[in-house]
Amino acid sequence: MTRSHVTTHVLDAASGRPAAGVAVVLAARVGEAWQAVAEGMTDADGRIGNLGPEALETGVYQVRFDTGAYFAAAGTPCFYPSVEITFELAEESEHYHVPLLLSPFAYSTYRGS
């Protein structure tokens, strides 16, 4: 299978391990609303390499992570029950990797490669 236009990787910074089993939704902004494009679950390595189609049009997109369910399954309270990362897909020819570094009370992200 080929890699999708948008991929993600979630690392649990508190445990120092990949965050397996995080539900993720990729959505596109359509007018003032969000329309789901794809959904998936992080694998044992915390990755989703096939999140959506191989090609997307330019526009504003959002990756939503169900962090509350992930931490609840581990019996860990968390402050952010979901994380939403909104980004602009400006180049149709480029790959977009949206990683998430996660802990129960903080998160960070960056544009990956």
What mean pLDDT is reported for the chain? 95
> Which domains, and CATH codes, for the chain?
6-109 (2.60.40.180)
- Arithmetic mean of pLDDT, 71-95: 95
Q: What is the pTM of this model?
A: 0.94
Is residue 3 helix, strand or coil? coil
pLDDT digits (tens, 9 = 90+) for 5-44: 999 999 999 999 999 999 999 999 999 999 999 999 999 9
> Tell me, what's the pLDDT at 1?
52
pLDDT at 107 over 80: yes
55-to-8, 24, 49, 65, 81 alpha-carbon distances in Å: 15, 18, 13, 21, 30
Is residue 61 a contact partner of residue 27, using CB atoms and an 8 Å limit? yes
